[in-house]
Amino acid sequence: MRATAQTHVATHDECSSHLPTPGHPERPERLRAAVEGASSAGAAALPVEIDEAKILAAVGRVHEAGYPGRLRDASARAPQIFDTPDNPVSSGSYRAALAAAGCSLAAADAVLAGDADTVFVAVRPPGHHAQHAKAMGYCFFNNVAVAAEELLARGCGPVAIVDFDVHHGNGTQDHFWERDDAFFLSVHRYPFYPGTGAGDEIGEGRGRGHTRNFPLASGADDETYTEAVAAGLEEILRMGAPRAWLISAGFDAHGDDPLGGMQVSDEGFGAIGKMLGQARRGSPLVAVLEGGYRPEALQRSVRAFLTGVGGTTKS
């Protein structure tokens, strides 16, 4: 089946079940804003089935075998802190994390089947800080890595993973650090949480040269951010043509975001989307929501980004 040009959005109501402590930036309003942004860009809903066994098998390619069970047990005993102080859990946190990984897996399934060529995965909690056996930075399961591993396991590789969240995607980088079947590009504020992402971090062993970081100073604007993304995309394309693109789409570099300290505008995210739409050269693209903590700005940024990627129509 040949994919249509229309962008799809994968989401699930269970992603609202994660309820951190009052005042926590990673709140359910983010999910509604992201979905509204995708819908206003003309994205069509992609059906998502939560098959726990299937999702856990995919999560097992990224995380330690006992890790999902620890999260499930912590959620059953909630409220409490899980692994790090910035990861409080509620009774619904495990279900939300499972649904977020499940939506990412559904997006990979859809592009592999040819049912879609562009999927925006509107989920929470985010994922790119999640490590092999440890939650951190509001993240539990590494959603973009789960999607990437599914594509690779089914013969769709090499893949490119592009992370433009204001925070460095340390969990994703760690996972693919010694791999040559994935190219990891991150553009982010530095020095900043989580402290990784220096320019000399380029991978090791077979993966040497397949990781590329573009650390930017606080206050970076549209011009600075988009120039870094463009330079990184050029490096990826010089190394070859990825068969699929995975995007850690974080919008907390927006000038209105309360956490990021950057000055990217709606139009800047639209420009990043356009660059990715051109760089993909017809290959499938799955973009997974990461940060973005001012709901109004997040909604506008998602709309601009997806319109830039192409295959959507403004309403």
Positions marked active-site: 129
C-alpha pair distances (Å), 54 with each of 59, 60, 150, 174, 218? 9, 10, 11, 24, 41
Dist. CA 171–CA 128, nearest whole Å:
5
Contact indicator for 78, 89 with CB cutoff of 8 Å: yes
Q: What is the 3-state secondary structure (H, E, C) of 195-215?
A: CCCCCCCCCCHHHCCCEEEEE
User: In sequence order, what are the residues at sequence separation of 6 or more whose Cβ sits closer than 8 angstroms to the Cβ of residue 292?
Assistant: 30, 33, 34, 250, 251, 252, 254, 257, 298, 301, 302
Give the burial string for 225-248 (b: 16+ CB within 10 Å, else e): bbebbeebbeebeeeeebebbbbb
Q: Exposed, middle or buried: residue 3 (CB in 10 Å: 0-12, 13-18, 19+)?
A: middle
For 10, what's the count of Cα atoms within 13 Å in the CB-facing half-sphere? Answer: 31
Locate the DSSP E strands across the chain: 8-10, 44-45, 80-81, 88-89, 118-121, 159-163, 182-189, 211-216, 244-249, 285-289
Angle formed by the axes of helices 143-153 and 93-113, nearest 10°: 30
